[in-house]
Structure 1
Amino acid sequence: MPDLLLELFSEEIPARMQRRAAEDLRKLVTDALVERGFLYEGAKAFATPRRLALHVAGLPARGQDVREERKGPRVGAPEGAVQGFLKSAGLASLDEAKVVSDPKKGEFYVAVIERPGRETIEVLAEIIPAIVKSFPWPKSMRWGAASREPGSLRWVRPLHSIVASFGPETETPELVPFAIDGVEVGFTTRGHRFLAPQAIEVRRFADYLPALERAFVVLDADRRKDIILHDARDLAFARGLDLVEDEGLLEEVAGLVEWPVTLMGAFDERFLAIPPEVIRATIRANQKCFVLRGAPGPDGRERLANAFILVSNLVASDGGAAIVAGNERVVRARLSDAAFFWETDRKTRLEDRLPKLGNIVFHEKLGTQAERVERIAALARALAPVVGADPDLAERAARLAKADLVTEMVGEFPELQGLMGRYYAAEQGEDPAVAAAIEDHYKPLGPSDRVPSEPVSVAVALADKLDTLVGFWAIDEKPTGSKDPYALRRAALGVIRLVLASEARLSLRAQIAAASAGHGRDAGTFADDLLAFFADRLKVYLRDQGARHDLIDAVFALPGQDDLLMVVRRVEALGRFLDTEDGKNLLAGSRRAANILRIEEKKDGRAYDAAPDQGLLRLPEEAALAEALRTAGAEAGKAVAVEDFEGAMRALSTLRAPVDAFFDKVTVNADEPALRANRLALLNALRAATREVADFSRIGGEGR
């Protein structure tokens, strides 16, 4: 079957856009083909710095013929209806329609529309230009004289040529006939800008790949990554070093070269006195190079080597000596700057930098970073006993946590905030717990990030995130839909992970109130909404851990559930209980009771929340259930009071048999009103007993 080869050749495409652009091209073209009824066997897109390419294999040469019967109006219908039918069906008169008889609806017109399948190459000539003209680049540009024309092509960089061929492997493929803003489709592309700049003729994908390879272009980005990674490892190994691997940098560098050549450079060993994270950030950010790890130091800790790996886009005649020397000069200059920042920053103590935080606005409605530091310090001190931290150390760490924002190093490398604060705190002799907390108070930054475990770090990290959440809730700047510009979902998830990892007994409502007081606001207007936000985040977190979201709903439905650790323990105990036969049967019985109560209470306009009258328990099954409820409810309540949720579940499990017997032998809606009301009160007692641990009405059966 025929294949499509499409290449869009341009000036350099930014590395960060390439992979997404290749995927967009594949999806847009294949979706458009499928929408028109053209199925295919496979499709793969590629990107290099100067081209997007697409290969679609196994397309039909032409589309299928279409035969459609379109039902029209009844025979004798008004002229307007008839004319509308003729126009929509493309008929000149009713003579071209047929009359069909229906025993129920009578006779009506039917148009038989037959359309021959279109040639695939014609469809491609329509699809591709439309996709190119509306391609979803994050940023695009116009160029040349045509840029002054309305509707002229916008592309990420000037588009130079287009290859679009279609045909079977056994025949000479045809050009897909189209042009875009004066760029005509052809069979000609180009190889590497410097190593093979001459034109190359390609006609099908099987020829395209080897032709590019001969012209020093590796088309597949993943293959370029493999080449870079393996060559870098080999170079490092030859020197007795290890490559510090960096997936993000590897992806970026693979998007900067079409023919990767790895080389090794070096820098002065004196620069190793700079923190290794600074060396890595300097070399990574400025030169897109990889750092190397040497032998452990005298203290047993790993140390960086005074060498780096660079990736060139050239096969140089001198073996890359000039390229390496140029990179070494730049790296030396950058590391000299970093060394200057390091030495300069160490001359000023962190607490002496705090006044400058008054010049940094955190948010126009939430004040400066200096004001925020005061709030976090007070909150961290209050949280310290809850998480087992020293209050003085927690307050000290919170006061210094943001000081590195005004250092030279963090000004140059914002991604090092917190980390540099830890280094400077250690340099000036702060308690190790304070230094660690300065770095860790931003953590966890994401679902895979490390969760601090040292109590002082936990106190400051919780204070920082709670202040952020409460502040933005107080000014009504909450996440909406997919938009979360202040990363509040991440902050809430961070609070959850910190609390669970440290097993902290924390009343969220009380902490929200305390944080609100720091903002000079009353939490009463938004506390419930913020607690609901935490509940939603907890559902997401626990669902990722395999828990059922309906069990979380069932626990949160109880009043006063703002202790995240206890909520999770209830959910875990409830999940284990419902996995047993007793749990499943009790759930079914309690849901049946809740449904009956809901219906009857709505019908009667009253609640049956009075205690059952012992004198109206006529049947032994009623009496047995009442006694079981009295005993199990009391035992479950005592167990919950001491946070023994497993014990509460065991108490409830004794209700299974009497509940089953009650529904088997007792008619709830008895003819006698007093008897009926008493039995409904008994069902309410069952509902109340199960609510000692959860609201069973929120649990969705056995589904997950």
Structure 2
Amino acid sequence: MPDLFLELFSEEIPARMQRRAAEDLKKLVTDALVERGFLYEGARALATPRRLALTVHGLPAKGQDVREERKGPRVGAPDAAIQGFLKGAGLASLDQARIESDPKKGEFYVAVIERPGRPTPEVLAEIVPAIVRAFPWPKSMRWGAASARPGSLAWVRPLHSIVCTFGPETEEPEVVRFEVGGVESGDVTYGHRFHAPGPIRVRRFEDYAASLRDAFVVLDADQRKDIILHDARDLAFAQGLELVEDEGLLEEVAGLVEMPVVLMGSFEEAFLAIPPEVIRATIRANQKCFVLRRHDGSLANRFILVSNLRATDGGAAIVAGNERVVRARLSDALYFWQTDQRDLPGFAGAGKPLDQRLAKLKSLNIVFHEKLGTQGERVERITALARELAPLVGADPDLAARAAQLAKADLMTEVVGEFPEVQGLMGRRYAELQGEHPSVAAAIEEHYKPVGPSDRVPTDPVSVAVALADKIDTLVGFWAIDEKPTGSKDPYALRRAALGVIRTLVENNLRLPLFFGFVIVGRRFMSEMLKRAAQPLDNRLKFLEASGDLNREGLLSQLVSVSGRAASLLKAEEALSVPPQPVEIERIGSLLSFFADRLKVYLRDQGARHDLIDAVFALPGQDDLLMIVRRVEALGRLLATEDGKNLLAGYRRAANILRIEEKKDGRSYDEAPDPARFALPEEQALAAGLERATGAASAAVAAEDFEGAMRALAELRPAVDAFFEGVTVNADDPALRDNRLKLLATLRRATREVADFSKIEG
């Protein structure tokens, strides 16, 4: 069968966009083909800095012929109906239609419409230009004189050429002709910018890939990564060193070169006095180079760089140029590092430990956010919250408060001022130099973690307390000023902060409620938590607004109406030791829902089924992150068993019967059945089984034994099967029917001990 080959050739595409763009191209093209009835055998998309390439294998030469019978009006219908039928069916007269008879409706007209399948190149000439014009680049640009015209093409970088061919392996492929933004499709591409800039004629993907190899272009990004990694390891090994591997940097560098050439540079030994974190950060961020280490783990005065050309001098000039830049950056870093050291105890100088850096941070009134106050005010809020959280995560409150006080002090150091990417790292180093407790020093670095899905979470209790306090303060503050993420925009990384909170709790097996951003379990009622967050903001936050005289039950009722997962806020009487204050209910509910959505994302990334997550979240009072995860895991294991599958089937049968009958009768059957009315042994067995299973499941849930609760419900399977096999629910006797429907409603309620089964799919 014929294959499609498509290449979009442009100026350099940013490395971070290449993989996603290749996948977007594949999805957009294949989805458009399938939507039009063109099925295919396989597709592959690739990217280099200057091109996106796509091959789709096994496409038909043309679309399927369509034969459709369209029913028209009855014979003798008004002329307007007849004319509308002819026009819609594309017929010139009724002679082209046939008449069919129906015993009930009489005779009516039928049009047989036959449309031949369209040639695939014709369809591609429609699909590809539309995709190119609407391609979802994160950022795009217009260029040239045409950019002034409305509707001109926008692309990530100027688009130079388009290759689009279609045909079988055994024949010369056809060029699919179209034009996009003044660029006409053809069969010519170009190789490496310097080594092979001339035109290359392309027939299909196989000869395209081979031609690019000859033209000094490695098409596959994973192959470029493999070349870089292995050559770098070999160069390091030859010098008796080891490569400090960095997957993120490797991915980026592979997106910067079409033909990777790996070289080694060096810098003076004296620069190794700089903390290794700073050396690595500046060489990585500014030069996109890898650092090397000795076998004892210390950094070496060597680095690996990747060039995009094969120089005649073996790369000597390229290496020398990179060494000059690295030397200049490290000279600055060394100066700032020495300056900061002179300000620490034990060194000559005036003496400015981190406490004095903090005092400077506060005295300068450096603004964190115009509506959320200064960094100094924020430090005080984080310190207070870290002290309260510390006992709940097993940390020493004094150490947590000390770490929170110093967490942002390194922002005022010379090194972090010049290299902001090492904030936290340098704070830890300075704290160690001035003799702080190891947990305090570690927390200064780790409170920023996790900074991404692959980053580790803090595990030291002091680090956990400060990390949670920092992220909670951020979330509460930005929700207070109504700066929430919208769509794909999240300028303050609030989604990352919420996910960081979730990962920190779940991966450390910590028991805190989902809504602990507003209430510290057993210590404060929600409004007190908000009041504490609001006061250091000097009345900038407006969470607390007068809303009438609310008693405890009234306030809880409003909270539950906003979020069905808020019930357990009152599970401990001591939570009400501080009288509840009026709260801004709508905004609180919004933040609670945001946390719930982030937890769903986290669980889905862990492989949990979305419907099982929804089934657990549908229950009231689901505010404990760790227990939600455990419940979802247990539910998944139950439904993987035969008993679980059959129990779900029985539940659905019961729920469907109840839904139909309750709608018909206009009432609910959620009442206890009358044991005296059980006429059949299957009814009695199911009722007895439900009583045992409900009691056992309820006790297991109370003991947080979700596996036990699932097992208790699974034991209902034989009784449920026997009931539906031997009992007619809609009996002729109204009292008997009523009682059996109540028994089914009892089964429906029993399953809600562990999850809302109505949310489970499949």
The bucket for the TM-score relative to the shorter chain is 0.7 to 0.9
Deviation at 1:576, TM superposition (A): 9.0
User: Quick check: 2:600–2:613 contact (8 Å CA) kept in 1?
Assistant: no
Aligned with 2:108: secondary structure?
A: strand
Matching residue within 321, 334, 337 for 1:326 = 321
User: Quick check: 2:608–2:633 contact (8 Å CA) kept in 1?
Assistant: no
Deviation at 1:21, TM superposition (A): 2.5
Aligned with 2:163: secondary structure?
A: strand
The size of the alignment, in residue pairs, is: 688
Distance 2:609 2:8 in 1: 48
Aligned with 2:189: secondary structure?
A: strand
**Equivalent in the alignment of 2:19:** 19
Matching residue within 398, 407, 410 for 2:416 = 410
Deviation at 1:119, TM superposition (A): 3.0
Distance 2:260 2:433 in 1: 42
Aligned with 2:292: secondary structure?
A: strand
Deviation at 1:324, TM superposition (A): 0.8
- Over 3 Å counting, the alpha-carbon distance change for 1:233 and 1:503 in structure 2 is closer
Distance 1:647 1:108 in 2: 63
**Equivalent in the alignment of 2:376:** 370
Read off the aligned partner of 1:356 and give its amino acid letter: L
> Are 1:383 and 2:378 an aligned pair?
no
- Over 3 Å counting, the alpha-carbon distance change for 1:546 and 1:3 in structure 2 is closer
RMSD of aligned residue pairs (Cα, Å): 5.0
Deviation at 1:17, TM superposition (A): 2.4
Deviation at 1:571, TM superposition (A): 7.7
- Over 3 Å counting, the alpha-carbon distance change for 1:29 and 1:573 in structure 2 is closer
TM alignment of 1:259-658, pairs within 5 A: 259-296=259-296, 302-346=297-341, 347=343, 348-354=352-358, 355-356=360-361, 359-479=365-485, 484-502=490-508, 504=510, 506=512, 508=516, 510-511=519-520, 512-520=526-534, 521-522=543-544, 524-526=583-585, 530-531=591-592, 533-534=594-595, 537-538=598-599, 541=602, 544=606, 557=619, 562=623
Distance 1:157 1:572 in 2: 46
**Equivalent in the alignment of 2:547:** none
Deviation at 1:233, TM superposition (A): 1.5
**Equivalent in the alignment of 1:299:** none
Instruction: Give me the identity figure in percent.
Output: 69
Read off the aligned partner of 1:344 and give its amino acid letter: T
- Over 3 Å counting, the alpha-carbon distance change for 1:464 and 1:107 in structure 2 is same
User: Quick check: 1:389–1:455 contact (8 Å CA) kept in 2?
Assistant: yes
- Over 3 Å counting, the alpha-carbon distance change for 1:634 and 1:107 in structure 2 is closer
Deviation at 1:10, TM superposition (A): 2.5
Distance 1:656 1:41 in 2: 46
- Over 3 Å counting, the alpha-carbon distance change for 1:76 and 1:407 in structure 2 is farther
**Equivalent in the alignment of 2:6:** 6
TM alignment of 1:76-155, pairs within 5 A: 76-155=76-155
Distance 2:711 2:164 in 1: 73
User: Quick check: 1:556–1:567 contact (8 Å CA) kept in 2?
Assistant: no
TM-score, length basis structure 2: 0.75
Distance 1:235 1:153 in 2: 45
User: Quick check: 1:551–1:699 contact (8 Å CA) kept in 2?
Assistant: no
Aligned with 1:335: secondary structure?
A: helix
User: Quick check: 2:257–2:307 contact (8 Å CA) kept in 1?
Assistant: yes
Deviation at 1:459, TM superposition (A): 1.7
User: Quick check: 2:449–2:455 contact (8 Å CA) kept in 1?
Assistant: yes
Aligned with 2:519: secondary structure?
A: helix
The unaligned stretches of length 5 or more in structure 1 are 297-301
User: Quick check: 2:612–2:759 contact (8 Å CA) kept in 1?
Assistant: no
Aligned with 2:62: secondary structure?
A: coil
The unaligned stretches of length 5 or more in structure 2 are 344-351, 521-525, 535-542, 545-580, 678-682
Deviation at 1:328, TM superposition (A): 0.8
Distance 1:687 1:63 in 2: 50
Aligned with 1:436: secondary structure?
A: helix
Aligned with 2:104: secondary structure?
A: coil
Deviations 1:604-644 (A, max 9, x none): 999979xx99999xxxx99xx99x989x979988x999x68
Distance 2:164 2:615 in 1: 55
User: Quick check: 1:11–1:159 contact (8 Å CA) kept in 2?
Assistant: yes
User: Quick check: 2:701–2:709 contact (8 Å CA) kept in 1?
Assistant: no
User: Quick check: 1:99–1:110 contact (8 Å CA) kept in 2?
Assistant: yes
Deviation at 1:500, TM superposition (A): 4.5
Deviation at 1:331, TM superposition (A): 1.0
Distance 2:122 2:676 in 1: 87
Deviations 1:26-84 (A, max 9, x none): 33333333333333333323322222223333333333333333222222222222222
- Over 3 Å counting, the alpha-carbon distance change for 1:469 and 1:115 in structure 2 is same
User: Quick check: 2:403–2:443 contact (8 Å CA) kept in 1?
Assistant: yes
User: Quick check: 1:633–1:651 contact (8 Å CA) kept in 2?
Assistant: no
